[in-house]
């Protein structure tokens, strides 16, 4: 967009533009989200940027009112470079790690020089500048939303030392972390937990999301009650729990996290964003699916999300268990696996008792143990083969899934939709989809769904909610 178009979007304060760009105000040195409700600056004082990192690299400080750290992220399909987008996601998800650019590039299958080049072309900043902004914005979120000590904030945000954190924060934001904290009112649920917020683009159909998760909640690992989602968490040696609620008036999800997970906070928040699909753009999606009205007058449902996953292996196993049986039966099997092979977690929340077993724990238990729990041999073998891939650190791709004996087309597409973040997965053999599109044949359903690309995963969710 050109300057005039950006400015018109800014003046509209339309949530559809939230996270799509940021505005730096030269007269104040502050940058804002387009939804900020402070007095709109004059056009001649505005400079527009595509990312918070680019804005901060230009010398602007984040607004304390609209809080750029709460802006929702970009949809995967909005990026012109898949490699740059993948690198940005890796940096956001693990900004607390000290991984070098060369190590990140190696994991993504390219050289660090090539990664730096495509990253700068896409985001107009270096990967290291992007990571620093991620760390600063996470730190600002923790300083604003919690009463964690400044030292804990520094370590959770990946700065490594309090001295380094203070130096970088004051240099970039022109005030110390302690001074920022005095300007805001932070709060925590208790001494054993803290709460941070994750932004999304409204509307958000929260009840539909909770209904989906509740039906598939794994006993001992997940529960839904009182309009909130609870689950146990295990990331490496760190265990704990989270609770997620909606703050509709603020267009955020409030994530309460046990203090035991502080050291893996970036990973926890990344998994929450994935599970609750907070980066999607409801207006873009509903516009693309508007022809679904011919199927049912209530479609498409604006704000409907595709539930992702918190733990990829857990969701893959749950999908395999769900092949050709009811949701309730699959949930029962998953609960048995948790009780027999999962690790106990003490969290003091009724209904949360274990973390889901890791790949190596299921491999150690073996096929016979799965059979004793009621898992038929074909599915047990598929689970073990999948566990071997996870244990070896191999990437799970949509092309690789059908090569695993026991994983059919429905399971591969379902895993692609929920685990791989595929926005365009379609399940023509699914019972709910066939019921919603009856009396069409499978060929007719697939042809009809061509008009819903690249958002067929969201079309499936719409069909499931008729």
- Residue of 14, 18, 32, 152 with catalytic role: 32
- Residue of 18, 277, 311, 430 with catalytic role: 430
C-beta of residue 298 within 8 angstroms of C-beta of residue 466: yes
Q: State yes or no: is 134 an active-site residue.
A: no
Reduced 3-state DSSP string for the chain: CCHHHHHHHHHHCCHHHECCEEEEECCCCEEECCCCCCCCCCHHHEEEECCHHHHHHCCCEECCCCCHHHCCCCCHHHCCCHHHHHHHHHHHHCCCCCCCHHHHHHHHCCCHHHHHHHHHHHHCCCHHHHHHHHHHHHHHHHHHHCCCCHHHHHHHCCCCCHHHHHHHHHHHHCCCHHHHHHHCCCCCCECCEEEEEEECCCCCCHHHHHHHHHHHCCCECEEEECCEEEEEEEECCEEEEEEEEEEHHHCEEEEEEEHHHHHHHHHHHHHHHHHHCCCCCHHHHHHHCHHHHHCCCCCCCCCCCCCCCCCHHHHHHHHHHCCCCCHHHHHHHHHHHHHHHCEECCCCCCCECEECCCHHHHHHHHHHHHHHCCCCHHHHHHHHHHHHHHHCCCCCCCCCHHHCCCCCHHHHHHHHHHCCCCCCCCCCCCHHHHHHHCCCCHHHHHHHHHHHCCCHHHHHHHHHCC
CA 25, CA 167: separation in Å to the nearest integer? Answer: 24
Structure tokens at 120: 């700068």
Q: State yes or no: is 11 an active-site residue.
A: no
> Which positions are annotated as active-site residues?
32, 430
């Amino acid at each position: 967009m050109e300057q005039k178009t950006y400015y018109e979007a800014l003046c509209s304060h339309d949530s559809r533009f939230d996270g799509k760009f940021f505005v730096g105000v030269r007269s104040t040195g502050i940058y804002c989200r387009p939804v900020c409700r402070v007095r709109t600056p004059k056009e001649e004082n505005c400079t527009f940027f595509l990312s918070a990192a680019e804005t901060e690299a230009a010398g602007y400080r984040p607004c304390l009112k609209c809080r750029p750290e709460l802006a929702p992220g970009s949809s995967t399909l909005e990026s012109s470079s898949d490699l740059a987008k993948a690198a940005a996601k890796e940096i956001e998800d693990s900004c607390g790690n000290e991984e070098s650019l060369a190590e990140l590039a190696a994991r993504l299958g390219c050289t660090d020089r090539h990664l730096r080049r495509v990253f700068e072309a896409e985001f107009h900043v270096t990967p290291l500048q992007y990571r620093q902004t991620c760390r600063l914005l996470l730190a600002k979120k923790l300083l604003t939303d919690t009463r964690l000590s400044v030292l804990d904030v520094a370590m959770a945000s990946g700065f490594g030392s309090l001295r380094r954190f203070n130096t970088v924060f004051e240099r970039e934001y022109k005030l110390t972390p302690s001074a920022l904290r005095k300007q805001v009112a932070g709060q925590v649920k208790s001494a054993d937990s803290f709460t941070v917020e994750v932004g999304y683009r409204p509307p958000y159909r929260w009840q539909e999301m909770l209904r989906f998760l509740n039906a598939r909640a794994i006993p001992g690992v997940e529960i839904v009650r009182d309009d909130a989602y609870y689950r146990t968490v295990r990331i490496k040696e760190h265990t704990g729990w989270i609770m997620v609620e909606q703050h509709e008036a603020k267009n955020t999800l409030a994530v309460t996290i046990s203090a035991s997970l502080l050291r893996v906070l970036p990973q926890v928040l990344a998994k929450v964003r994935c599970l609750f699909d907070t980066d999607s753009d409801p207006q873009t999606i509903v516009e693309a699916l508007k022809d679904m009205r011919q199927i049912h007058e209530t479609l498409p449902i604006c704000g409907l999300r595709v539930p992702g996953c918190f733990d990829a292996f857990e969701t893959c196993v749950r999908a395999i268990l769900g092949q050709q049986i009811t949701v309730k039966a699959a949930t029962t099997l998953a609960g048995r696996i948790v009780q027999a092979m999962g690790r106990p977690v003490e969290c003091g929340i009724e209904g949360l008792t274990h973390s889901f077993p890791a790949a190596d724990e299921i491999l150690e238990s073996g096929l016979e143990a799965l059979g004793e729990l009621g898992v038929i041999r074909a599915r047990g073998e598929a689970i073990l083969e999948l566990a071997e891939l996870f244990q070896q650190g191999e990437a799970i791709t949509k092309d690789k899934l059908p090569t695993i004996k026991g994983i059919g087309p429905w399971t591969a597409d379902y895993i692609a939709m929920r685990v791989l973040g595929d926005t365009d997965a379609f399940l023509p053999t699914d019972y709910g989809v066939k019921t919603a599109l009856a009396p069409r044949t499978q060929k007719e359903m697939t042809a009809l769904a061509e008009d819903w690309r690249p958002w067929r995963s969201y079309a499936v969710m719409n069909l499931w909610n008729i």
